[in-house]
Chains A and B, each alone.
Chain A
Amino acid sequence: MPRALVITAPGINCDRELLDAFSLVGAQAESVLLNQLRRNPTMIDRYQLIGLPGGFSYGDDVAAGRIMGRLIRQDLYGALVEAINRGVPMIAPCNGFQIAVAAGILPGPCKDEPWPESPAPATVTLSPNREARFVDRWTRIHVPETSRCIWTSDLQVDAETDVLPSAHGEGRFMTTPEQLSSLQDQGRIALTYGEGENFNGSLGAVAGICDTSGLVLGLMPHPERFTRWTQHPTWTRLDPGCMDPEPMGLQMFRRAFEVAVGVHVA
């Protein structure tokens, strides 16, 4: 049974639903405090799945994810890169995405280039939402055909039921036009908001990106909050038949689990 690591820290608060999502697909999930990992980074070698949960790590002071990203950059970057090189799928929803960007884990190196020894400066960012305010809403989700992300490629997207919840104040994806087209060309746009639903004003309506291996997914929506049909915003009016397949969020975890089964622990 693959083991899943959920990294928590002061202010992280979506660890429970992330643990639950990993468990629902069959992984043995546990959460470990950032400080314990910083003291002993080799603990990461034991895991085949990694999650950086949402929340308000260190209060999101300075900027969302900045401080926790800074601490990971300093003490855990190497261990996480090693895990990615080992083939470990990693998911970073919401604050996790912001942390991964600040830590230098996303977007990561370009196609066919190795991970740098020390983390590169950030080239994408998640700025305050267009309305400068926290927003909780479900949106339709689109997976670009070119996505090479192991979490999202080949998802059977149903326009009516495939929605994901977002809940953040700083989720506006920003980067240079060159970086955006390079991500697009390399199949690294893993998710976009449905048409007309780009509520935070993200460039290219980007909701999530992956690294060049497709293993590491950073996204603003919360797939871990759509693992049961009763979480769907209009489940009380859906035909029972359309609730037969697994909810979209759970499908994503299922895909990563299947990849993780083949990953060796160090």
Chain B
Amino acid sequence: MPRAAAEPVTDQVTDTIICRIEVRQSPGSADAAGEAVARSSADLDVSLVPSRVEHAWIYLVQGRLDQEMIERIAMELLADPVTQYPVISLAPAECVQPEPGVTTIEVHPLPGVTDPAAQSVMQVIGSMLDVDVQVRTGHRWDLHGVDDLAASRIAETLLANPVIHDIHDQPFFPESFPKGTTRQQATREIPIRDLDDGQLEELSRNAHLFLDLQEMKCIQDQYRSLQREPREIELETLAQTWSEHCVHKTLKSTIRYTQQQGDDDPASIIDASRPGHVVEADGSVTIENLLKSTVAAATHELIEDGIDWCLSVFVDNAGVIGFDEEWGVCFKCETHNHPSALEPYGGAATGIGGCIRDIMGTGRAARPIASTDVFCVGSPYLDSIPQGCLWPRRILSNVVAGVRDYGNRMGIPTLNGTVWFDDRYVGNPLVFCGCIGLIPREFVEGEPRAGDRIIAIGGRTGRDGIHGATFSSAELTDSHADEFSHAVQIGNAITEKKALDAIIAARDHEDGCLFSAITDCGAGGFSSAVGEMGETLGARVDLENAPLKYRGLTPTEVWISEAQERMVLAVSPEHVDTIASICLDHEVEWCDLGEFGTPGRELVLRWEGQEIGCLPMSFLHDGIPTPVRQAEWPPRTLPASTMIQGIEPIDVSTGRNAIESVLLSLLSHPNIASKEWIIRQYDHEVQGGSVIKPLVGPGAGPSDAAVIRPLAESDQGLAIANGLATGLASDPYLMGLAAIDECVRNLVCVGCDPDRIAILDNFCWPGCRDSESLGGLVRAAEACYDGAKAYRAPFISGKDSLNNQFTTDQGVTIRIPSTLLISGMGIVPRLDHCITMDAKSADNLLVMVGSTSGRMGGSVFSSVSPTDDDRLPMVDLQRGPRTAAAVAGLIANRLVRSAHDCSEGGLAVAVAEMCLAGGIGCRIELDTVPVTEDGLDPMTIAFSEEPSRYMLEIQPGDLDAVTDALEGLPWAVVGRFTDQPRLDLLVDSGSEPGSVTIEQMHRAWSGSHQF
């Protein structure tokens, strides 16, 4: 059983033995894991494919054990009596040796890497036999019919990642278990007062501080004035707190933006009427605190203008809006890009784990009710990758597995997301994880009080994840896998689930909420969590009280470790005992790390009673220098729209069947094709609140948004969606507006009230020290301001990751396309009025709302076929919101049977998806589509990705009512649903239709790219 407060870490028990228990499948029993590896091996480029793969579990147990105890462990706990049998060995020679023609690969976690199964087994053996044991687990794979070369390739590609695993080529039997190594305990001073500029930069780089010269000089000045050298722990605290990851120093800085082009810029940024913008004499504009002057300004102006349902914006771990009189809902979306580049499974799992903790750490704790995930990766069909990268397909399947295993175990439905493929993500994939929580309104705010104890709940602290915050703020290079493997880690979802259950029990305690504030340990670990919570009060921390995974951590390591699953609470001393007993019942550890409130508002760090560091909170939080950064636009070479290898270009030159074959090609394009293989791996229905699922209709079509019922007793719902328009990255302003418009469209299409939508920004940008890159960031931020204002959709929270590029061993830098993810949630007034995108009945009319232009730039069509018109489409900020409101009104008045957002692949793909989801056909006349300019060719009309367009299915009898409601907007009846199992596309009413059967469309859409 876990104990209150820190207990000594036992690395060793005397008179112990080590035994190895191998659990194998009985002959005749299915070996699903082995078969899956055999199948996946066939997809690899290996000389020999195994004819068969056998999987076995390995448990290494160390303790004071006798034969009978070992047999009980093997028979009663580890092996399944129906399908498995155990093999016990007490010495290396007793292990099962591979037969001739079989190559054995064993994969074991490296010492110090979290091994959740080992922790569970250790605990249950303790309870079964009343004996202390140490456990390590591993996997054995017996590969039949391969040589060593093929075996090692299979091992490295499918079975293990050297960043976290040891790979053995024979049964592994360790002589002893690893013990923690003790490092120098004393607190080092790091002399910086006499360093010159070059030496300061060298120190920053070598110590992995990633502070720039100006910041290093600022620290140098501080210590010169204090007349002493900084101690290591102080320098580390500053590096964590001042990292881009924690402080968003680029987005919050003052930026001087220069624009070369003239008056036809749709963004009109050189405009003194924008908040915080000053137009300079040379025609540039100075923007004070970019984030505050754009994203946040929109929210504050909307609140002043009457939006009264924002309960907490930008100040907490997540933004909160009102759900009903009693409850609020909060939303946060994080990225975990750099860890996922090195170890995709652990990186994505800890990404979602960290985002869930943000929700647990909002106000005085919210309960997570839904998760989202968006991945951006290179083409699955690349024929080579730079050294130091992993193959995109492996990255994708492993990040999916990471989100699956963490999210499913937490019992939070992962119910919305997307994947975007572009080859420039090859070295720096993007992994976005979002989480939504439900919080009683009375707990939206929380502040620590002087005298509160600093209580940590959850996982133990280890050396894992050191320097994650600074690492995420650096640029990736081919050597990062070696240099930063300690920043990578594996999560243990059950530890987080236990912490969540205990925290909710403490929040809802019969004596009232037992804590006054809570936050999560994310980037920077305790240093950021305690540093932020104690900002106005100061804090005294006794670092030796933190329970450790293994002995030997230095105080600095304890302080900055980013070990997962830890939450920090401010608890009034009289409630500490109650918290302790709740933790005991929920089998979760806790410790008392010290006290909030010091006389001088400092951060005082102690180790066994001795002061080892002291920083004034004012310098820590307000000392960071804020230089003026230069931004310019446009860049000298415009970045391409989507680049994706391995997709056949489409020849549209001639031929009767051109439009049909383009449609099928687009349906099978990786950026459009079904994501069912991902969605079904997530438990998107746990908690029982699912109303609109990610796949809808009998044909499992792509839902525009998910809808849940957060409160069982209420008929009000919450819709969740996202918008991503990376195809338009060559102008981030237009990209930003398109992403907001898409997010709103998605929400509206299921029955969400457009007047109750809140959104989040996630900027993932290539290095922003580059003035052109920063220019793009300014444009995207301005789009956020303009879009949020126009749609009256306030931003409530956001996040940025501004160093996403990869430098190869050849010195070539691959910069990701600038990427802005807009995540949105909105209130659904009546769940029984929700609609889905699957077409419902023959003879209903297909109505298109919105107008189509010839601007084909950035479309999926343009990425596979050259177009004459490569202008980017532009959101009309007057008409877009009006259209959304009109469509929402139709849905609320029950006049719409199905609705679908017209996005990637345009009208034809949208209608194809409605048909294949509903299993009925449709006949479309392309010349009836409303257009903004004459003379558009049918291909353009069919595949344009003009924003603000909706496809609606209405019953013929409702046409008059629909006509009245759409007064003043461009719209038309463009087709009719039929009971024929095909989609007919007619250029005009007299022409021969191009026909595609539902079966063909289904095969194209869901038959490709399922990994």
Contacts and interface: CB of A to CB of B under 8 A. Distances in A.
A45 interface: no
A174 B409 contact: no
Contact of A137 (B30, B33, B680): B680
A154 interface: no
Interface in B671-722: 679-688, 690-693, 696-698, 709, 712
A131 interface: yes
A122 B124 contact: no
B36 A132 contact: yes
A10 B121 contact: no
Interface in B521-567: none
B128 interface: yes
A203 to B, nearest CB: 10
B685 A136 contact: yes
A11 interface: yes
Contacts of A71: 124, 127
Contacts of A54: 686
Given A10-B498, A230-B709, A59 B685 contact: no
Interface stretch (B79-87, B225-233, B727-735): B79-87
Interface string B751-783: 000000000000000000000000000000000
Interface in A139-180: 165, 167, 172, 174-176
A225 interface: yes
B82 A174 contact: yes
Central interface residue in B117, B124, B831, B918, by most chain A CB within 10 Å: B124
Given A127-B32, A230-B831, A63 B80 contact: yes
B683 A136 contact: yes
A16 interface: yes
Contact of A225 (B81, B688, B834): B688
Nearest to B40: A132
A132 B709 CA distance: 31
Contacts of B683: 134, 136, 167
B82 A136 contact: no
B121 A61 contact: yes
Contacts of B439: none
Binding site secondary structure of chain A: mixed
A153 B804 CA distance: 59
A231 B686 CA distance: 11
A134 B681 contact: yes
Contact of A59 (B81, B117, B127, B684): B117
A10 B693 CA distance: 27
Interface residues of B, number: 66
Interface string A3-17: 000001011011011
A132 B697 contact: no
B686 A14 contact: yes
Contacts of B697: 234, 237
A55 interface: yes
A23 B581 CA distance: 29
B832 A56 contact: no
Central interface residue in B57, B120, B586, B831, by most chain A CB within 10 Å: B120
Nearest to B588: A10
B840 A237 contact: yes
A231 B124 contact: no
A13 B36 contact: no
B32 A172 contact: yes
A131 B677 CA distance: 12
Contacts of B494: 10-11, 56, 58-59
Contact of A122 (B30, B80, B588): B80
B835 A236 contact: yes
B410 A174 contact: no
A230 B832 contact: yes
Given A56-B494, A132-B36, A234 B698 contact: yes
Given A134-B681, A174-B83, A237-B918, A56 B30 contact: no
A137 B694 CA distance: 11
Given A17-B687, A59-B493, A167-B683, A67 B836 contact: no
B404 interface: yes
Nearest to A135: B680
Given A35-B585, A59-B494, A14 B30 contact: no
Contacts of A129: 32
A62 B688 contact: no
B492 interface: yes
Interface in A39-84: 54-56, 58-63, 66-67, 70-71, 74
Nearest to A226: B688
Interface size class on chain A is 35 or more
B81 A165 contact: no
B478 interface: no
A233 interface: yes
Contacts of A212: none
Contacts of A132: 32-33, 35-36
Contacts of A35: 585, 587
Contacts of B408: 56, 134, 167
B688 A20 contact: yes
Interface string B575-607: 000000000011110000000000000000000
Contact of B688 (A36, A74, A130, A231): A231
A70 B688 contact: no
A136 B679 CA distance: 8
B80 A55 contact: no
B424 interface: no
A266 interface: no
A61 B117 contact: yes
B30 A33 contact: no
A231 B685 CA distance: 9
Contacts of B386: none
B303 interface: no
A186 interface: no
Nearest to B23: A62
Nearest to A229: B832
B29 interface: yes
Central interface residue in A35, A125, A237, by most chain B CB within 10 Å: A237
Interface in B148-165: none
Contacts of A134: 404, 408, 681-683
A56 B409 contact: yes
Central interface residue in B127, B494, B898, by most chain A CB within 10 Å: B494
A224 B422 CA distance: 41
Contacts of B686: 13-14, 17, 54, 167
Nearest to A74: B128
A145 B771 CA distance: 73
B688 A17 contact: yes
A52 B834 CA distance: 33
Interface string B831-870: 1101110101000000000000000000000000000000
Interface in B481-535: 492-494, 497-498, 501
A36 B116 CA distance: 24
B628 interface: no
Nearest to A60: B409
B120 A58 contact: yes
Nearest to B404: A134
A128 interface: yes
B77 A66 contact: yes
B528 to A, nearest CB: 27
B102 interface: no
B411 interface: yes
Nearest to A227: B688
Contact of B834 (A122, A167, A236): A236
Given A11-B494, A58-B120, A167-B686, 13 more contacts: A14-B686, A35-B587, A54-B686, A59-B493, A62-B78, A67-B124, A70-B76, A127-B29, A127-B30, A165-B685, A230-B834, A231-B690, A234-B698
21 contacts: A10-B497, A11-B409, A35-B587, A58-B124, A59-B409, A59-B492, A59-B493, A62-B121, A70-B76, A121-B81, A127-B83, A131-B36, A134-B404, A135-B680, A167-B686, A174-B82, A225-B685, A230-B834, A234-B698, A236-B834, A237-B697
Closest 3 CB pairs of A and B: A13-B411, A17-B688, A61-B120
